[in-house]
Structure formats: structure tokens, C-alpha cells
Structure 1
Amino acid sequence: MLKSAHKHHTFKAWQNESFEKRKKRARALLLCMRGAYPRTTSVLKWKTPMQMLAATMLSAQATDKKVNEITQEKGLFKKYKTVNDFASAHLKTFQKEIHALGFFRQKAKNIIGAARMLRDECGGKMPKTIEEMTRLPGVARKTANIVLNHVYYIAEGIAVDTHVIQVSRRFGFTKEHDPKKIEKDLMKLFQKKDWIWINYTMVEYNRGIHRAPRPECEWCYVKNICPKIFKK
């Protein structure tokens, strides 16, 4: 029986595998997943760099579909387009406009705060490094990676979210739980040219086949090369 990636597991296969063998296996698994899920961009809709940042921040603990509903159908991004638009937003008004999303108070505060920092300290332009991006309020490595990927097609790292954590641990790409440590392990395993699309491929795979608590192993595209790390 497969066990949840969040509970206690044995890593016998992972521990006995050489790094080069794991690297080769990881590459094969990733290519199979990409063949089934070739999308290499976010489904979040945006037109300006600031909108991309805002949409990514809004997507925390919310579905992309719900974020697009707020930004597109409800007209949020018709009202707010540029850094100055977001920086000039009234906090209470903005909170009301995004209240259908979780943690809307903190998200509103962070988005407006980030826009004001971009306006006042960055000349209104989106930074081009993770170090600069993560200085913005509410922006951690995952958000920074996604924004850099889309706005500048820059890959400084790999965006690690819940989906990436689950897939990476189940396939034995890492034994870590901390997103930063998982990102480092993945960066060692995969070529830099692949970093940009790894997140989207793993997200789609995890939602479609690999979903917890019981992955659809019978229908899995990679079942013939899956190490079944967490199988008793």
C-alpha cells in the first residue's frame, strides 16, 4: 500500500541509489511527465509584470481558477495594471476587491507594499534576481522564481510548492521536507535549462495522476520506471 508523502516513510531505495543513477532516473521520469503534461507556463492570466506578481501572490492558498475569476471576470486587473496603480490602491478597498480569496487582508497588504517598494526603490521595474525579489513584502523563493520565469524567462532556481514536494519525495528526488532544501536537491538533479518548466509539469502530474492520498498508479504514465519509494 502506498503511504502519504507527509507521514513516515522508508527510503531504502533512495539510500542505496548512487547520485548518478538517481540523476539519470530523475531525468527519465521528468521527460515522461512532460510528455503527458507539456504545459510550461502558469494558467494565471496577466499582462504586466506587476500583474504577474500580484496574481502569483493571490494564488497562495487559492486555486488559479479562482484567482483568474477575481482578476479577469471581476475586473481587478482592468483597474490595476501598473506598479503605480497597485501602489496607489486604498488598502480597505483592495481588501474588499479580493475578499473572496483566502488571507485577503495579508495579501492586500503585501501586494500594495511590494508595489510601493518597487515604485520607491526600484524605479517601478521588476527586479531580475531572486535576492532582490525576496526583499519585497510577501515574496518568498517560490513566488520569486515564478515571476522571474514568466517576466524575464530567467531561471535562478525551481519553484517548489506542495505539488512539487509531494512528487519529489514520492519519486525519491529528495528526502527533505523544507522547500529550500528540496529546491537545492532538485537543482542538483536537473539541468538548468529544465528548471523553468519543472514546477508546471509536476503540478499537472500531481493533480492528474499522483494526487494524494492514493495516486492512480494503474493509470500512471511513468509506472514502468517509477521507483515506488514509499511502497512497503
Structure 2
Amino acid sequence: MPAKPAKKSPKKAAKKAPKKTVAAKSASARKQAAKHPLPANRKPAVAKPSAADKERPAAKLEIKPDRVAAILKILAETYADAECALTHRSPWELLVATILSAQCTDARVNMVTPKLFETYPTPKAMSEAPIEAIEQLIRTTGFYHNKAKSIQGAGRVIHEQFRDKVPETMAELLTVPGAARKTASVVLGVSYGKAEGIVVDTHVFRLSRRLGFTKSDTAAKVEQDLMKIIPHDHWIQFSHELIHHGRQICEARKPKCSECPLEQICHAPDKTWSS
């Protein structure tokens, strides 16, 4: 009988090398970098745009003058009586009310300002008021610590540098504490009828993008875009009209497109209804 072949001993399974963790890899990479540093005059390689990328033109926003004119006409007819919603009796009161309106509704500001102006009616009185007393009066407008400092500082500057008269130029207004460009444009437009800019609040910002007037993502850039396409003699009223439209029809979360007079010429991607 032939001898049976000897059984082969089973091969021992090769031990797998343990996987390096991300931390281990990083540590290893750091050691290699330390051993072989780049020359002082050599920078790490950075991906460069291809020739196709260089030749590809940047996307441009097409704004047709006829469409802009049609939108302005409808807004003017729909909101013929639109005006500033902040209650005030003077440029000084409007300046203070506008500062307080930051991150706050106009309705809330109008509830606060009567008592505030009764207590401190002039820039001088506001500048000399105890900061804690001002804070207490404006507390419900939010961010009252900073707002109190701003209106107290505004009172001091207007009293000392402008002899209690709110200045009538953008350059001078921007030196007043709390008066950024939007606030200055409100005061200049409403109190003095001067259009040195377009007021871009949350409503104007949102609606300008929805209507295709701009693709910019900051208020400053949106204002610059609007100033190029809105006629100068309509800068002041345009903001009032768009603010009213934003409050009454074109709401942020659920615009009332079925009631909108601009619906047929609005191509916003988030429309809730289309004719």
C-alpha cells in the first residue's frame, strides 16, 4: 500500500500591521517634515487655476432697465404714502430712534422714545444723563448697554461739536457715535430730504436680492449695487416703499405671493405662488 502523503502544516496567518491612526500619521508627517524642511525660498505647492478657469467669464447679474422701471412704478403706486415708521419731532429725535431701532422693531422703539425724550429732550440733557438711567429707559429695545453709550455719546458730540444741531452731511454724521451709514442715510433723507445713500435694512436687503437687483451678501455692497440702478431722485422713497412691501406682503419666511402686485415680474426662487 502506498504511503499516504504527509499532511502539510497549516500556514500561519500573516499578522496584519496595525493601521496607523490619524494622530499617528500626523505625528509621522511632522517628523518627516522636520527631517526634510523646505528651503527658505521655496513655498509649498498651491493648486493653480487651469487655463479653462481663467478664460471662463465671471457670472454677471443681468438687470434690465425696463424691468427696474416697472418695479419702481408699481411700488410707487402701491405705497404712495409710505414714510418713516419711527415717531419723531426733530432730526435729533429721529437720530436717537434710528440708533435704538438696530435689532429691534420700530413699534417697540416708538413705545420707548416718548418717555426717553420727555426725560432727556436735548442732546445736552442726554449727554449729561446717568448712563444707568438711560439704560433703564431703553432696556426693552435690546443691546441697551451699547445703545445707551451710543445715544449719550451722540448727545455729547452734537452738543459740543455741532452746537446742538444734527449735521446735514454724511461725512459729519458718520463722526457721531452710533451713526453708521444706514442711520445717517435715514436722518439725511427723512429730516433733510438729502439722498446721499440708500437705506438698506433687513427688508431692503432681503427684497433687493429676491427681486434680482443684487447678489451681494452685505448691506454695504447691496447699497452700492442699488445706487447704480435706482434713479437718484428715488433713493429716499425706494427704501420706504420696499420696507412697507416687506412688512405687508413679501415676508421673510412665507411671502404672500398671491397678493403681491410684483408677482408677475418677480422671479424669486422661493416664491410661494406663481400665476
How far residue 194 of structure 1 moved from its aligned partner, in angstroms, is 0.5
Aligned partner of 1:44 in structure 2 is: 86
Secondary structure of 1:224's counterpart equals: helix
Query: Structure 2: which amino acid aligns with 1:228?
Result: A
1:86 aligns with 2:123: no
Instruction: Using structure 2 for the length normalisation, give the TM-score.
Output: 0.73
1:16 and 1:58 mapped to 2: Cα distance?
A: 35
1:131 and 1:106 mapped to 2: Cα distance?
A: 22
Quick check: 1:113–1:137 contact (8 Å CA) kept in 2? yes
What is the aligned-residue RMSD (CA, Å)?
1.7
Gaps of 5+ in 2: 1-58
How far residue 229 of structure 1 moved from its aligned partner, in angstroms, is 5.4
Choose which of 212, 217, 220 in structure 2 pairs with 1:177.
Answer: 217
Aligned partner of 2:67 in structure 1 is: 25
1:54 aligns with 2:64: no
What per-residue deviation string (whole Å, max 9, x for no partner) do you get for residues 53-92 of structure 1? 00111111111111111112xx222222222121221111
Aligned partner of 2:201 in structure 1 is: 161
1:100 aligns with 2:179: no
1:127 aligns with 2:167: yes
Aligned partner of 1:8 in structure 2 is: none
How far residue 29 of structure 1 moved from its aligned partner, in angstroms, is 0.9
Larger-gyration structure (1/2): 2
Instruction: Go from structure 1 to structure 2 and tell me whether the alpha carbon gap of 1:16 and 1:202 turns closer, same or farther (over 3 Å shift).
Output: closer
Query: Structure 2: which amino acid aligns with 1:45?
Result: T
What per-residue deviation string (whole Å, max 9, x for no partner) do you get for residues 18-56 of structure 1? x4x2x3212211221232222332121111221110011
1:68 aligns with 2:113: no
Greater relative CO, 1 or 2 (CA 8 Å, sep 6+)? 1
Aligned partner of 1:5 in structure 2 is: none
Please say which of residues 27-36 and 148-157 is displaced more in the overlay.
27-36
What per-residue deviation string (whole Å, max 9, x for no partner) do you get for residues 119-138 of structure 1? 11222221111121111112
Quick check: 1:110–1:137 contact (8 Å CA) kept in 2? yes
Quick check: 1:48–1:81 contact (8 Å CA) kept in 2? no
1:210 aligns with 2:250: yes
How far residue 213 of structure 1 moved from its aligned partner, in angstroms, is 2.1
Secondary structure of 2:206's counterpart equals: helix
How far residue 230 of structure 1 moved from its aligned partner, in angstroms, is 5.7
2:211 and 2:270 mapped to 1: Cα distance?
A: 8
1:225 aligns with 2:265: yes
Instruction: Using structure 1 for the length normalisation, give the TM-score.
Output: 0.86
How far residue 166 of structure 1 moved from its aligned partner, in angstroms, is 0.5
1:228 and 1:55 mapped to 2: Cα distance?
A: 33
Query: Structure 2: which amino acid aligns with 1:221?
Result: P
1:180 and 1:70 mapped to 2: Cα distance?
A: 29
Q: Identity rate of aligned residues, in percent?
A: 38
Instruction: Go from structure 1 to structure 2 and tell me whether the alpha carbon gap of 1:91 and 1:115 turns closer, same or farther (over 3 Å shift).
Output: same
Choose which of 226, 235, 249 in structure 2 pairs with 1:195.
Answer: 235
